[in-house]
Structure 1
Amino acid sequence: MPDTADDRTPVEISTDGACLGNPGPGGWGAVLRYKRHEKEISGAEPNTTNNRMELTAAIRGLEAVTAPSTVILYTDSTYVRNGITKWVTGWQSNGWMTKDRKPVKNAELWRELVAACERHDVEWRWVKGHAGDHYNEIADRLATAAARTVNAG
């Protein structure tokens, strides 16, 4: 990924999460692209939810970008996109409570995502899942394969 913070060529990250049952074994995947370089990363958890895996994919993707960068992050999760672009500021000011005064679900992951975003200038783009977006399909395959390793393990 970028060697210096001065290079403003955006890093593009496509992310996806998968769960075999919800909750159940889950996986996440991300494809990072910078100029002509591509990197695929993935991971799994034994008992999780799809939303947790979607969040984890975005977090791990952003953490894999080592230098402060301009990032375009593609997700098929409206939960992640709306959460980080619309809801998180209110949650933070409400002490991680919803408008209904209930604890925010997955608050620890939302905190990690906020921290991962602080180093970068992130633009969030939603893509329709399972609709032929090349990199979303790769991220989906990575996430699903990672989730299956839990069952095989």
Structure 2
Amino acid sequence: MPRGWYLAQGLVPLGYSSSDDDEGPCELPNGRLVCGPHGLVQCSRCCSDYSFMDDVVGEHREELEDDENDDEDHDLAPAGTPSTIGVPSLGPNVLTHGHGLRCTYPNDNSMLLIMTDGACLNNGQANPKAGWAFFQGLNIEGQPLVVSGRLETQGPWGDDGIQSSNRAELRAVIAALRFRHWPGEGFSTVVIATDSEYVVEGSTQWAKTWVQNNWRRKGRMGNDDVNVKNKDLWEMLLGECENAHRQGLAIQFWKIPREWNTLADEGAKKAATAEETPVEWLDYQGLAF
């Protein structure tokens, strides 16, 4: 991560050496901009002032990318969510676990960080191929542990599903939550870090209204109601969040820049290139490491 990210949190990155990559702004998890080299909103050394961004932090800044050339509308954005959500403000640490390492948070080893991503070759075009991945820690040699898979042609309830980037993004989160019994490993919170605005906004805002409206939403012209896309995966994701809540495990979502998510991104793209596409839904249950 850029040096300014750590400095703005009051942290000093170990083993860091300055480079030209630090020039320009650095976005913090809460959306605030600081200068890359020094982590300051107003920096005299860089001759930069990002304080103007305080007025727009938290606002919706850009439209979601089209998934099937007809993505979900954004006018259904209720307050609240059926499951819990928060945004951590500190960078990850590592916690020794079994014979490997989990990513946790400074001063709170009960918070687990999992980074997820989905990808789709020829998204919205002929012959799309989707894959997903999540990064969950390091092995005993210090190598990243990335779990990945090709997106199935059937959803969790046996219905046919298309190959798309949005479905792959949702699939990655579901696989991460189901991979281990996280409360049994001593975690009270799982933070899903993703660069997908579709996943974060849908989970934290839109889903409550979708459920209340029986999975219907306004069409693009605002006249006719249409079915919410990827209902099967949204239902399963919300069910996983509710099940975790009953076990005392909080699920939080953190929207991160794409450049922070390279491990999961590479895993998802590699999985999407697999020739064989599984038909039936697979459950990825992992062993402790």
Which residue of the partner structure matches residue 263 of structure 2? 138
Partner of residue 180 from structure 2, selected from 60, 65, 82: 65
- What amino acid is aligned across from residue 105 of structure 1 in structure 2? K
Question: Which residue matches 2:123?
Answer: 22
Instruction: State yes or no: 1:32 paired with 2:32.
Output: no
1:65 and 1:27 map into 2 onto residues whose CA distance is 20
8 Å CA contact 1:25, 1:151 repeated in 2: no
Partner of 1:53: 168
CA distance in 2, matches of 1:90, 1:65: 30
State the shift of 1:151 in Å: 7.0
Q: Which has the higher strand share?
A: 1
Q: Which residue of 2 aligns with 1:121?
A: 250
The letter for the 1-side match of 2:196 is S
State TM-score, norm by structure 1.
0.83
Contact in 2 for aligned 1:73/1:125 (Cα 8 Å): yes
1:42 aligns with 2:157: no
Task: Please identify, of 58-67 and 87-96, the stretch whose mean Cα deviation from structure 2 is larger.
Answer: 58-67
* Unmatched 5+ stretches in structure 2: 1-96, 99-107, 154-161, 220-224, 278-289
Q: CA deviation at 1:109?
A: 0.5
Structure-2 separation of matches of 1:41 and 1:26: 15
Structure 2 CA distance for aligned equivalents of residues 90 and 49 of structure 1: 23
AA aligned opposite 1:43: G
**Structure 1: runs of 5+ lacking an equivalent:** none
Structure 1 residue 64: deviation in Å? 1.1
Partner SS state of residue 265, structure 2:
helix
Deviations 1:53-97 (A, max 9, x none): 011011111111313341111010000100000000000011111
CA RMSD in angstroms, aligned pairs only: 2.7
Cα distance in 1 between the residues matched to 2:115 and 2:210: 25
Query: Which residue pairs with 2:51 in the alignment?
Result: none
Flag the structure with higher helix content.
1
Q: Which has the larger radius of gyration?
A: 2
Letter in 2 for 1:125: W
TM-superposed CA distance for 1:18, in Å, is: 0.6
- Name the amino acid aligned to 1:83: G
